[in-house]
Amino acid sequence: MLPKEVDVRGVTSADVARESGVSRTTVSYVLNATQGVHISAATRERVRETAERLGYAPSAAARTLRTGRSDLVLCVLPDWPIGPVVDSLLELLAAELGGRGLAVLVHHGRGRRPLAELWRSVTPRAVVGFTEFAPEDERAMRQAGIQVVGTELETDPRDPGAHAVSQVRIGRLQVAHLADRGHRRIAYAAPTDQRLADFTTGRLQGARLECGARGLPEPVVREVDLDPGAAAVAVRGWREVDTPVTGVAAYNDEVALAVLAGLRAVGLRVPQDVGVIGVDDVPAARLAVPALTSVSQGIEAQALYLSAAVLAAIDGAAEPAPFPAVLRVVEREST
Amino acid sequence: MLPKEVDVRGVTSADVARESGVSRTTVSYVLNATQGVHISAATRERVRETAERLGYAPSAAARTLRTGRSDLVLCVLPDWPIGPVVDSLLELLAAELGGRGLAVLVHHGRGRRPLAELWRSVTPRAVVGFTEFAPEDERAMRQAGIQVVGTELETDPRDPGAHAVSQVRIGRLQVAHLADRGHRRIAYAAPTDQRLADFTTGRLQGARLECGARGLPEPVVREVDLDPGAAAVAVRGWREVDTPVTGVAAYNDEVALAVLAGLRAVGLRVPQDVGVIGVDDVPAARLAVPALTSVSQGIEAQALYLSAAVLAAIDGAAEPAPFPAVLRVVEREST
DNA sequence: CTGAAAGCGCTTACAG
DNA sequence: CTGAAAGCGCTTACAG
């Protein structure tokens, strides 16, 4: 009946029970600190000691099969390139939830396989979606008792700025900063990487909103490849018009670096001729020529908020209140 | 006997069996395409169709419990900051293994919890270690039937250059490039981030080896913070000596960017006064002032090699032969 | 306060 | 060619 292959399974709760002279029931009660059951301190101690000595670790598979729930939190990422911001977010999230006994599993590259297959085969306790799920996927997961949590990284066009971190607010903040420095004709430097479309949409919308709120003309949008030559073309497009652009809001610091390279190639001075602001405040921003002004995303607060949301969902508690704004303009020499 | 909580479990193989008028055995045989068992084409078709129609997805927990094996591949990362290189590696690995029905689970931030607890509770099919495991951990995993695969990212001081990608070779390549351009006094710019110590050790050793092989003095090592001021201090240290440094091998492109900023602050020209070479060939390298020469890691080949190694380990096949060298110097203006 | 027993969903040796 | 049955390791309602 047993599989033929040699697979040495580990120590089981039966081993612990036998060794400490109690039943598996008692072992389970003690090790899970089950409420409403009183076990004598001596037994409790003996079981704990035995489990420790034997190096007992419960089988997640058996526990999951039995309870219908695991201690896995599945983070579903689209095929975004993971920059330092998302990386930090995941690392902090894993640390926070790890402290509560939850293991974070990151699934990278959504869309390749059907989502249903993924969560059905992992049986996670909660699923964290970094972009919106299809309504039928979300319904199916909830029906299966899986908590579904959004990262609030997605765009909400109807309610910009409502989330702790909204892409829309990032775009607004960039334009506000440029406008405060007197720029009236503003450009938006979008990334060419289509995988970033979700972010771009929100940030660009924010830039548009802020321009509108301040009575400025619509931002002039151009995709800027991460290459000095390509960036120079974009820069010329922005400048060789009746009212030349003087302020550029870039999708992120990488794109902003490309814009700086393009401006240099064209012979324009920063910030005298054109001001540039990025997003993310990566280390390279501080090292750029000139040092790049950027929007810092305060990712620690986001990670905290997200883990609180996951824990609340699991405990059946109400969603935590969004944290106060964490976005911040780090001003350097480029604006 | 059932858990009280409402948890709607999904469709089981019993449902499929009942619905298609066969036993669970047959369902299992058909859906797993079990070898050595012949099922009539009609039955086979009927079972498949029913499973599809019902949206059946097998319970990973039950299968794992039964077979003692899962379809999970656990990647254990130390608490490295994930740069674009490791990110690409993981993404490509997940894509490759996903095609074989294996799900890649990334555990970020090793060392926080005991490793044994992690793999015992996940029951992975294979564990990919991005740094060497403690011998007792590795032995325990192997004994439990888990395949253990190394990423070859680690340093092997006894056999530098043996791996498809060795950190040692990266360092050698950097120094070789600088020496080929006439630099005799070479510096190594190490990162301040201690989480990168594993890589730094190997790369620095490679730099030392190559200096030795070419009869050059030992490289002068300094940690360089990602800040223009801090970098300027390092640069002065390299220059204000009897035989000033003229070539700098930087740990990676970020550090190289800092070195460039430091050189600029001190008023030295690149590459006329000092040549600089980085590692990773990130987009920012091409955008730097001057454009940065860098070592490209050819990460696709590494990912391919790694996934082949994982599959070979699982299939009990021999480890694949290491791929030919994938490191490549991308020469730009900084050398 | 503690134990015997059921059952989560699957795979597979064995019997027909 | 197909099915009945055992058992992976756990949790928990129930009986003592």
| CATH architecture for residues A68-156+301-325 | 3-Layer(aba) Sandwich (3.40)
- Which amino acid, one-letter code, is at B209? L
Per DSSP (E only), the strands in chain B are 72-77, 103-108, 126-129, 147-150, 186-191, 220-224, 247-250, 275-279, 293-296, 328-330
Helix, strand, or coil (residue B154): coil
- CB-CB neighbors (< 8 A) of B84 in chain A: 81
Confidence category of residue B110, pLDDT binned at 50, 70, 90: low
- DSSP H or E stretch at residue B64: helix B60-67
Residue B289 has its nearest CB partner, among A81, A82, A289, at A289
Supply φ then ψ for residue B248, to 5 degrees: -120, 125
Q: Which site among A11, A118, A121 would you substitute to test the B interface, given the most B Cβ atoms closer than 10 Å to its Cβ?
A: A121
B/e letters for B256-271, b = 16+ CB within 10 Å, e = fewer, are: bbbbbbbbbebebebb
The chain A residue lying nearest B109, using CA atoms, is A91
Degrees (nearest 5) of the Cα angle A225, A167, A213? 100
CATH topology classification for A167-296 = Rossmann fold (3.40.50)
- CB-CB neighbors (< 8 A) of B108 in chain A: 90-91, 94, 104, 106
Cα–Cα distance measured from residue A28 to residue A48, given in angstroms and rounded to the nearest whole number: 11
pLDDT of residue B160: 44
A284–B257 C-beta distance less than 8 A: yes
Per-domain boundaries in chain B: 13-58, 69-156+301-325, 167-296
Q: Which site among B71, B108, B146 would you substitute to test the A interface, given the most A Cβ atoms closer than 10 Å to its Cβ?
A: B108
What does chain A come to in residues?
335
pLDDT at residue B2 greater than cutoff 50: no
- CB-CB neighbors (< 8 A) of A139 in chain B: none
Strand D reaches within 7 A of the B65 CB: yes
- CB-CB neighbors (< 8 A) of A10 in chain B: 120, 144
pLDDT at residue B143 greater than cutoff 80: no
Cα–Cα distance measured from residue A2 to residue B7, given in angstroms and rounded to the nearest whole number: 30
Cα–Cα distance measured from residue A3 to residue B68, given in angstroms and rounded to the nearest whole number: 9
Residue B261 has its nearest CB partner, among A106, A120, A287, at A287
CATH of B69-156+301-325, picked from 3.40.50.2300, 3.40.50.10860, 3.40.640.10, 3.40.50.720, is 3.40.50.2300
Strand C reaches within 7 A of the B63 CB: yes
Tokens representing residue A242 in the block:
């009746």
- Which amino acid, one-letter code, is at B85? V
Confidence category of residue B323, pLDDT binned at 50, 70, 90: low
Strand C reaches within 7 A of the B59 CB: yes
pLDDT at residue B137 greater than cutoff 90: no
CB pairs A-B closer than 8 Å: 171
B/e letters for B198-210, b = 16+ CB within 10 Å, e = fewer, are: bbbbbbbbbbbbb
The chain B residue lying nearest A88, using CA atoms, is B81
pLDDT at residue B318 greater than cutoff 90: no
Confidence category of residue B3, pLDDT binned at 50, 70, 90: very low
A105–B60 C-beta distance less than 8 A: no
Sheet holding A72-77, edge to edge: A103-108, A72-77, A126-129, A147-150
pLDDT, tens digit only, all 335 positions of chain A: 333 333 446 788 988 998 888 989 999 999 888 887 888 888 888 999 998 888 888 888 898 889 888 888 888 888 788 888 888 888 888 888 888 878 888 887 655 566 777 777 678 889 998 877 888 888 878 877 788 887 755 444 444 444 545 789 999 999 999 999 999 999 999 999 998 888 899 999 999 999 999 999 999 999 999 999 999 999 999 999 999 999 999 999 999 999 999 999 999 999 999 999 999 999 999 999 999 999 998 888 888 888 888 988 888 777 777 665 689 999 999 99
pLDDT of residue A109: 66
Query: Among candidates B103, B107, B101, which has minimal Cα distance to B120?
Result: B107
Residue A226 has its nearest CB partner, among B65, B94, B283, at B283
Equal fold, B13-58 vs B69-156+301-325: no
What are the beta bridge partners of residue A190?
A: A223
Q: Mind spelling out the 3-state secondary structure of A236-290? A: HHHHCCCCCCCEEEECCHHHHHHHHHHHHHHCCCCCCCCEEEEECCCHHHHHCCC
B58–A61 C-beta distance less than 8 A: no
Of B82 and B15, which is predicted with more confidence?
B15
pLDDT at residue B226 greater than cutoff 80: yes
| CATH architecture for residues B13-58 | Orthogonal Bundle (1.10)
Q: Nucleotides on strand C with an atom closer than 7 A to protein CB?
A: 1-13
Nearest nt to A37, CA vs C1'?
C1
